[in-house]
Structure 1
Amino acid sequence: MVDLPLPWRTSTVAGAQWSAAFTLLDDDGTPMDIVGKMFEFVIRPSSADVTVPPLVKVTTTATAQGYLTVDMVAATIQVVLTPAATILLGTGCRPFALWMDPGQPDQTCLVEGPFYSRLVPAV
C-alpha cells in the first residue's frame, strides 16, 4: 500500500448527516485483503487529545453517532456520521483519523486530516 496515512480534508454543516467512502488498494491496484480487520473513525478536539472516548467515534456497530460499512471483497469503507455526531463539532476544524485494527500492536492510520464544520443560520 502507498505511504500511510493518506492526507484528506473534508467539511460538513454541524447538525447534518455526513458520509464518505474509502477504497483500500494494494500497491498493484488490487483491493487490499481486509478480512478479519477492525476499523474505527474518530474526530478529536486536537491531535494531542487522548480522551476516551473521543469527541466522535464510529465503528461497524451502529450508535447514535453513526456507523461504518465495510465491504471485505471490494475493500471499501463507508463512514456515516449522524446529525447527533456532527452537531458536537460546532464551528471549527478538528483532526480526524480512519484506523485499521485500532488499539492493536499493528494498528494503522489509513486516512487523516482536518474535519471542518460550520453552523448554518436558522431560517
Structure 2
Amino acid sequence: MPDLPLRWRTATVAGAQWAATFTLLDDDGTPMDISGKTFEFVIRPNAADATMPPLVEVTATATAQGYLTVDTLTATIQVVLTPAATTLLGTGCRPFALWMDPGQAAQTCLVEGPFYSRLVSAA
C-alpha cells in the first residue's frame, strides 16, 4: 500500500444511509492479502477524543449503527452506516478512520479524514 493512512473526505445527510467501498492494493497494484484481518470504521467527535465507544463504530458484526463487508478475494471493505448512525452526526464535520487489526500491536489506520454531515429541512 502507498503511504498510510490515505486521506479521503466524505459527506452525508444526517439520518440517511451512507456507504463506501475501499479497495486495498499492494504497491504492485495487486489485491492485498487481508485474510485473517479484522477491520473497524469509527467516527469521533474530534481528533483528540479517545472515548470508548466512539460516536460511531462499525465492524463486520452488524449493529444498529451499520456493518462492514470484507471480501478477501478482491481486498475490498464496504462500510455501511445506518440512518441511526448518521443521525448522531447532526450538522458538522468529524474525523473518521478505517482501521485494520484495531487494538492489536500491528493495528494500521488505512484511511482517515473529515466526515461532513448536514441536516435537511423537513418537507
Aligned twin of 2:116? 116
Using the size of structure 1 for normalisation, the TM-score is 1.00
| Structure 1 residue 105: Cα displacement | 0.3
The answer for the alignment partner of 1:7 in structure 2 is 7
Which residue pairs with 1:84 in the alignment? 84
Deviation at 1:29? 0.2
Match for residue 47 of structure 2? 47
Give aligned-pair identity as a percent. 83
Aligned residues: 123
Structure 1 runs (4+) deviating above 3 angstroms are none
Q: Residue 17 of structure 1 aligns with which residue?
A: 17
Q: What is the TM-score normalised by the length of structure 2?
A: 1.00
Shift of 1:22: 0.2
Deviation at 1:15, TM superposition (A): 0.2
CA deviation after TM superposition for structure 1 residue 82, in Å: 0.1
CA RMSD between the two structures: 0.2
Partner letter of residue 82 of structure 1? T
- Mind listing any 5+ residue stretches in structure 1 that lack a counterpart? none
Aligned-partner Cα distance in 1 for 2:87–2:11: 13
AA of the residue aligned to 1:55? L
Which ranges in structure 2 are unaligned for 5 or more consecutive residues?
none
